[in-house]
Each structure stands twice: as C-alpha cells, then as structure tokens.
Structure 1
C-alpha cells in the first residue's frame, strides 16, 4: 500500500491471516475512577468474581497493570475473557463488583489471538506444574 490508510475491515485482516489461530477474545481495560481507596474497598469481591469467571471457563487471563517504571500500581487492570460477542463481554464487565461499585470504569476491545505460545512444565514425580 502506498496510500495512508487509517483502518481496514476486520474481514480483510482475517483473510490475510487465515493460516493463524484467529481466536476471538475480549480485553477489558479497567481504570480507577476516584483513587485507590474504592479499589481496595472492593478488591476482595473483585478477586472472588475473577476466580468464579476462571472456574466457569470465561476468564482467559487477568491482572494489574504496573506503571511504566514497573515500581507501582495506580489501580489499572487488564482482564481478558471468552465471550460470544462484545455486547456479552460488556455485560460480564458490568457484573464485576469493582465496576458495579463505581470504583473503576472499563473499556472493552475485541482481541483476536493469532500468534504466541503457552508452555507448561509438568513434573509427574512431585505432581507439580509450572507455567514457564
């Protein structure tokens, strides 16, 4: 392409990467609304909610987003879930106690996984595993 193009249809991207995984997930970016106090007030319920999503097979991954210097946390988080649509992902995000309480607000973005690896080490003798 020689012309500046700001965006292309998702179908074009899928066609261009049709040999890849093309697993559709949804990324929930969550940020504090009124400082860290309300975040910590609802953290326990939020984490229980996340664990239930994990048990239900909805949660792909989640965790805090550190500051760029990797030295602190300003309350931001990233939650990646499995859902049938963006609308369904929004409903799940709305159910999070952190969002219901108004401690954080969120934004949902569709995310298609094409590349990457997951490595799990299983030691049978000790019946332990490690994600590498």
Structure 2
C-alpha cells in the first residue's frame, strides 16, 4: 500500500491535478419518518455549506439497476483535511440526529472535465 501523501505527490509530479476532496456516503440508520423529520434542517445545512464553498456536490443515488431510489446519498466536501470533512459531516442534522449514518473517504481527482454553458440573454445555465 502507498501512503496517501506519497501517492498525491507522485500524481502531481506526473502532471495530474491531484485535487483532494472528501466523499461521504450517507445511508438511512432509522425509520423513514426520522429521515423526513430531519430533511428541512439537513437541506438548510447543505445550502449553508454550498454558500460557504464547503459543499461541492450532494444528492441521492439509485440502486444498482438505476431504476429505484435506495436511500443512499453522496456528499462531496471541500475541506482542508479529512478531519475537517468529518466535522462537516458530523454537524449535518441528518447525522447528528442519528437518522442517517455516513462513511467518509478521501478522493483524489486527477482527470476529467466539467463543461459549463451560460446563456446570458436566456439566463440559462447548464453543466455537463
């Protein structure tokens, strides 16, 4: 196994982006009523994190077939460390209440692209 810091340094040396983000997978830990009760506070917390730049992406995931929602969520944080990302996830009202449980991992982004189209006159924005 290669230490994370060594892997990151090696990736940067070969020209990779080596952008470090933190990914939480969140799953229901209590009844659906408990999850629904925490939803307004959870959404407000996510909006606050988005506004301050700590939240990159978040949303629900389907099951393996892609046909049904399974209750799993994916949250990608921007933070200075794994511990800081853990603190963000722990402070989420869904996790604080015990309605959902999460696991956290580091994610190093090396390749890929994001396209953003902004229509000035139409005021349309799309991302692919």
Alpha-carbon distance between aligned partners in 1 of 2:32 and 2:111, rounded to the nearest angstrom: 35
The yes-or-no answer on 1:45 pairing with 2:46 is no
Aligned to 2:42, the other structure's residue is in SS state helix
Which residue in the other structure is 1:131 paired with?
127
Task: Tell me which stretches of 4 or more aligned residues in structure 1 moved more than 3 Å.
Answer: none
Which residue in the other structure is 1:98 paired with?
94
Which residue in the other structure is 1:89 paired with?
85
Alpha-carbon distance between aligned partners in 2 of 1:41 and 1:74, rounded to the nearest angstrom: 18
Counterpart contact for 1:25–1:110, Cα < 8 Å: yes
Which residue in the other structure is 2:22 paired with?
26
Change over 3 Å in CA distance of 1:122–1:54 after alignment to 2: same
Alpha-carbon distance between aligned partners in 2 of 1:35 and 1:70, rounded to the nearest angstrom: 23
TM-score by length of 1: 0.88
Aligned residues, how many?
A: 126
The yes-or-no answer on 1:17 pairing with 2:42 is no
Aligned to 2:61, the other structure's residue is in SS state strand
Specify every segment of 5 or more residues in structure 1 that has no aligned partner in the other structure, as ranges: 1-6
The structure in which a higher percent of residues are helix is: 2
Aligned to 1:17, the other structure's residue is in SS state helix
Specify every segment of 5 or more residues in structure 2 that has no aligned partner in the other structure, as ranges: none
**Deviation per CA, 1:51-92, whole angstroms, max 9, x where unpaired?**
110001110001111111122222211100111111111111
Which residue in the other structure is 2:73 paired with?
77
Between 37-46 and 7-16, the greater mean CA deviation after superposition: 7-16
